[in-house]
Amino acid sequence: MKLSLGSDHAGFDYKEAIKDHLIKAGNEVIDCGTFSDASCDYPDYAHAVAISVEQGASEFGILVCGSANGVAITANKHASIRAAICWEKEIAILSRSHNNANVICIPARFVSVDSAIDMVDVFLSTEFEAGRHALRVGKISC
């Protein structure tokens, strides 16, 4: 699977751990940055991940920042992006199965790195249920 990954400085260590995990699992990862834990602006990386998913360069996006709010707000400015803040596996499952989310946003300050990796794994392996959910998802874009 081809995936885009990005973070700000607060999520940098998590991004690196997730990237290593995904590559070891055989995925192709587009690292959209940041590339250090130096203070930076999260929209730069959230837009890069969203554009990668929007243009079909990657199937899904993964964003990490301190609260996940900033990257989710930014990514959701893109009409075809459905970015979901996830803080536990069940939320990650529902974001895919009910909302057809294509970007997972993880709050590094509120979950462990192991939990973040588990959420990414379940997010990527969960299928969209479609059916009644497809009608609702079809009403999201403005």
Active site (catalytic) residues: 65, 98
Indicate the helix (H) or strand (E) that contains 125.
helix 113-125
Q: Are 13 and 112 in contact (CB under 8 A)?
A: no
3-state secondary structure 81-108: CCEEECCCHHHHHHHHHCCCCCEEEEEC
